[in-house]
């Protein structure tokens, strides 16, 4: 008796032998998924193709020592890089600065980019929301975060948010609403499902990285992301992609 034909999406045959699948769309943009069970993770997270950083760049860092010059430079430029500093938490002076004697408050710039990648941060302080008026880019990849504070959406001007390589299992809808966000990376976490309201909560989203999680499906609301141009979801257990998602004009 002949076997059943493999499932397909828009004429694309899904590879039921659990191979990487690329769904091409009419304007050349590709959605990447992996059908079948997610790959085994041995001793850590799989590398996400969208993450061009390397933990080897941390080898020359000085840990948490010597932060004051960096904090001072951040106040002068609006860009603060505290990556690879072995930080257990976000220093209070990041969001509640204390000026040095030779600093003038009218010469300080509001923080627009904050890089806290490759640290050991387990939780974000609610007062990080004090940066909401100016912060545009927040990089938190490769930390130990398992959840996000409800105050995070107060960062209402955020354009880029990188949470890849953490321990996040679920997204609280109340902690995930960013009207201006364009780029979001959630790859290399432990997320098994996405909030039903994720689409309407991210109306400006253009790039979404979800690779190497535990997802089996997408919520239909992703089909409301009218500006989405890039979606990566390799290393999951996706078996079907919502027709509303495939019908997006930008994909």
Tens of pLDDT, residues 147-172: 999 999 999 999 999 999 999 999 98
Query: Which range among 3-12, 97-106, 171-180, 194-203 shows the weakest confidence by mean pLDDT?
Result: 3-12
pLDDT greater than 70 at residue 240: yes
φ/ψ (deg, to 5) at 56: -65, -25
Write the Ramachandran bin of 40: left for phi over 0, alpha for psi from -120 to 50, otherwise beta.
beta
Pairing relation of β-strands 20-24 and 30-34? antiparallel
pTM above 0.85, yes or no: no
> Cα–Cα distance between 25 and 23 in angstroms, integer?
7
* Pair 178, 156: CB distance under 8 Å: yes
Residue 113's DSSP bridge partners are 79, 137
Window from 74-78, 197-201, 239-243 with minimum mean pLDDT: 239-243
The two structure tokens encoding residue 186: 């959630």
What is the pLDDT confidence band of residue 104, given thresholds at 50, 70 and 90? confident
Average pLDDT of every residue of the chain: 79
pLDDT of residue 38: 46
pLDDT at 176: 86
Q: Does residue 23 register a pLDDT over 90?
A: no
Q: Kindly state the average pLDDT of the residues 175-200.
A: 94
Across 82-110, average pLDDT: 87
* 136 vs 179: CA distance, rounded Å: 12
Say yes or no to pLDDT of 111 above 80. yes
| Residue 99: predicted pLDDT | 81
Which pLDDT score, from 0 to 100, does residue 33 have? 52
Cα distance between residue 26 and residue 22, in whole Å: 13
- Answer whether residue 20 shows pLDDT above 50: no
What distance lies between CA 67 and its chain's CA centroid? Answer: 25
Residues near 234 by beta carbon (within 8 Å), at least 6 away in sequence: 20, 32, 33, 34, 49, 211, 212
What is the torsion angle, in degrees rounded to the nearest 10, for the CA atoms of residue 151, residue 154, residue 155 and residue 158?
Answer: 120
pLDDT at 217 > cutoff 80: yes
**Sequence-ordered list of residues with C-beta below 8 angstroms from that of 11, at least 6 positions apart, any chain:** none
């Amino acid at each position: 008796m002949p076997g059943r034909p493999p499932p397909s999406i828009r004429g694309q045959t899904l590879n039921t032998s659990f191979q990487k699948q690329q769904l091409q769309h009419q304007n050349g943009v590709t959605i990447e998924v992996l059908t079948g069970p997610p790959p085994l993770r041995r001793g850590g997270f799989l590398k996400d193709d969208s993450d061009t950083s390397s933990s080897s760049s941390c080898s020359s860092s000085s840990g948490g020592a010597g932060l004051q010059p960096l904090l001072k430079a951040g106040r002068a430029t609006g860009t603060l890089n505290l990556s690879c500093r072995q930080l257990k938490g976000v220093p209070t002076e990041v969001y509640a600065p204390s000026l040095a004697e030779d600093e003038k408050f009218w010469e300080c710039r509001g923080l627009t980019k904050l890089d806290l990648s490759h640290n050991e941060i387990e939780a974000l302080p609610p007062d990080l929301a004090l940066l909401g008026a100016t912060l545009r880019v927040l990089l938190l990849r490769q930390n130990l975060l398992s959840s996000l504070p409800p105050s995070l959406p107060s960062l209402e001007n955020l354009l880029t948010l990188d949470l890849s390589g953490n321990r996040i299992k679920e997204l609280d809808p109340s902690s995930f609403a960013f009207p201006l966000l364009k780029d979001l990376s959630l790859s290399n976490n432990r997320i098994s499902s996405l909030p039903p309201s994720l689409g309407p909560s991210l109306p400006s989203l253009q790039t979404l990285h979800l690779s190497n999680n535990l997802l089996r499906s997408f919520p239909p609301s992703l089909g409301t992301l009218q500006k989405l141009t890039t979606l990566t979801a390799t290393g999951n257990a996706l078996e079907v992609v919502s027709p509303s998602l495939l019908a997006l004009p930008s994909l």
